[in-house]
Structure 1
């Protein structure tokens, strides 16, 4: 009887992994947000805070890099791996390190604060969707993941060769970029569930197999939605963070909830 129950449980888990759940993830996420609009609140506050910091950086001596929007002819998939909005300006970290102490503290402090408030919003929404109580390890792990995603995104964005390469080399690089984000798509949700970063990455790679097409569509929806809302003058960052940030967090939570992986970390 035990062997039979174990086999049935295994078959159910395999069925959950292999069935095409991805098209339903977006619908379920929108329903989650519609039935619980308070999920928008953490990202509304985060969006307002990030917008205020960006506005201050436009008039202070902290070096920033302007990011072109769709209205300026730059169509991109604004997806950074963690729930966030579109950044029309980006802090350039390298020159900040050479500033005088007050500006150095303000520059690094505003950067850390922006990531922290986005991390808090992400954990609050994802934990609510997957119905778990986040632990200290979850908060720390999620923050570390957000920092890693952000630093990698900034590094790649600062390499001119990657931005200016033609289709011949650009398409393979873009394909690799999408594949990496598809495999890491569930990592933030798994960290909120209590896994270590290593186990979350391992399980994310495992549960996203068979769902690559659906996750690719989700990344396009989130990334293009960010880019479109981010192009709105003045309010773009706040709107994209509030709406698309909350949607991204809900999508991660719903996907993790549907796949219900059992941790088999390395």
Structure 2
């Protein structure tokens, strides 16, 4: 297996609303997100546009003279394509080594092509979550969101997935446990960045929100990761489908979770930064 890596509460009908307790199961969290989208179908639009761009970039990469890599997960039986920041799963990729020794015009064109997708999906995620949160966090919030997304994207590009030998089963299990805990603790991070929190404060708030519901959040990680992988395998349209279908549901789920946790902030979360504080941290 590989990883790429306010609502208030949910009532009996799965709708997000005010209340004193957060959603308790993965299913009710997903129902809350779907209910939010049914109330406001516009929430699907940002990632639909981004999905078209992902599919276009896939098409351009395949026709570009610069070498393209087919992701290894395309050949695997099961792969978890979960991203902390809601985004689609492209069917093609380009290694950093492919950009070495290019002439300047070709290098600039290739870098621009690789940068446009993170910019588009990042903006789509921020717009979607701020709409659910019903707050205007300002351009500084968008900048922090995009910077965090870019940092994660660059890190994943520079470090190839770790491969384990068949004899390292204990190490594999330990790595999966640690990775699962990290992903669950970071699940709400994009939502807090979209809400206007600084990076360090958002990290603390995300970890605090995960307490008491790690199993439910892990269920969401599995759901979104497997769904992104499955849809991305669809020929030609896979990049669009994983972006336009999975990413908006993930983004809305995060925003609904943050909105509900913010409502119960006095019980679980660190205090929100004062309005006058604009530090990136």
| TM-score, normalising length: structure 1 | 0.86
CA shift digits 1:108-160 (9 cap, x unpaired): 1112111100011001110111111131111101101111222233344x14x
Shift of 1:189: 0.4
The 1:22/1:221 distance shift into structure 2, 3 A limit, reads closer
CA distance in 2, matches of 1:73, 1:183: 27
Shift of 1:22: 5.2
Residue equivalent to 1:29: 33
Residue equivalent to 2:198: 196
**What SS does the corresponding residue of 2:69 show, helix, strand or coil?**
strand
Structure with greater helix percent = 1
CA distance in 2, matches of 1:105, 1:208: 41
Shift of 1:75: 1.1
Instruction: Pick the aligned partner of 2:78 from 60, 75, 78.
Output: 75
Where do 1:94-243 residues align within 5 Å? 94-156=97-159, 158-159=160-161, 162-166=162-166, 167-243=169-245
The answer to whether the Cα contact below 8 Å between 1:86 and 1:230 also exists between their aligned partners in 2 is yes
CA distance in 2, matches of 1:146, 1:225: 21
Shift of 1:201: 0.6
**What SS does the corresponding residue of 2:44 show, helix, strand or coil?**
helix
| TM-score, normalising length: structure 2 | 0.82
Shift of 1:102: 1.3
The 1:132/1:22 distance shift into structure 2, 3 A limit, reads farther
The answer to whether the Cα contact below 8 Å between 1:80 and 1:153 also exists between their aligned partners in 2 is no
CA distance in 2, matches of 1:111, 1:226: 20
Moved over 4 A (4+): none
Shift of 1:211: 1.1
- State how many pairs are aligned: 247
Question: Unpaired runs of 5+ in structure 1?
Answer: 1-14
Shift of 1:187: 0.7
CA distance in 1, matches of 2:154, 2:165: 21
The answer to whether the Cα contact below 8 Å between 2:58 and 2:239 also exists between their aligned partners in 1 is no
Range with bigger deviation, 57-66 or 222-231 = 57-66
The 1:98/1:176 distance shift into structure 2, 3 A limit, reads farther
The answer to whether the Cα contact below 8 Å between 2:67 and 2:98 also exists between their aligned partners in 1 is yes
Question: Unpaired runs of 5+ in structure 2?
Answer: 1-19, 274-280
CA distance in 1, matches of 2:165, 2:148: 29
Instruction: Pick the aligned partner of 2:88 from 61, 85, 88.
Output: 85
Shift of 1:63: 3.2
CA distance in 2, matches of 1:68, 1:37: 34
The answer to whether the Cα contact below 8 Å between 2:96 and 2:158 also exists between their aligned partners in 1 is no
Range with bigger deviation, 145-154 or 184-193 = 145-154
CA shift digits 1:174-202 (9 cap, x unpaired): 22111111111111000111111111011
